[in-house]
Amino acid sequence: MSDEANSEPVVPSIPATERGNSEAQLDPENFLALFQKATDLAGGNSRKAVDLAHKLSDRLGLAESRVAALEEQVAKLQTEVEFYREKSKRAEDWLGKISGEIQEQVRKTIN
């Protein structure tokens, strides 16, 4: 993410008068100008937050789709593994049966 998302908002400073007191704060025009700047900053920050939320939401949606696809793939692979386990078991049983028959034939031949 960029530094913009993590940076502190800029707060406009209140200009001081030549005497250094806060008379400028009491000036309605100055107050309205500062208020407008604060409103603009808040609006900009709000837009940035909404944009960031949309981007994160999009990324979350993509991640969720990817997880769902991977879960589906895992389920298919588990089914395939079970199929080959059963096939392997049948082959082992068949080989055991053949081995037993061969041993029986050898015993009959020897005796």
Q: What is the pLDDT of residues 1-21, one digit of tens each?
A: 444 445 555 555 555 554 455
**The domain containing residue 7 runs over which residues?**
3-110
* Residues 61-87 pLDDT 10s: 999 999 999 999 999 999 999 999 999
What is the count of structural domains for the chain? 1
8 A C-beta contact, residue 83 and residue 47: no
pLDDT of residue 27: 79
pLDDT of residue 6: 52
Residue 100 has which token pair? 């037993």
Amino acid found at 11 = V
Q: How far apart are CA 28 and CA 37, in angstroms?
A: 14
pLDDT of residue 40: 85
pLDDT at residue 90 is higher than 60? yes
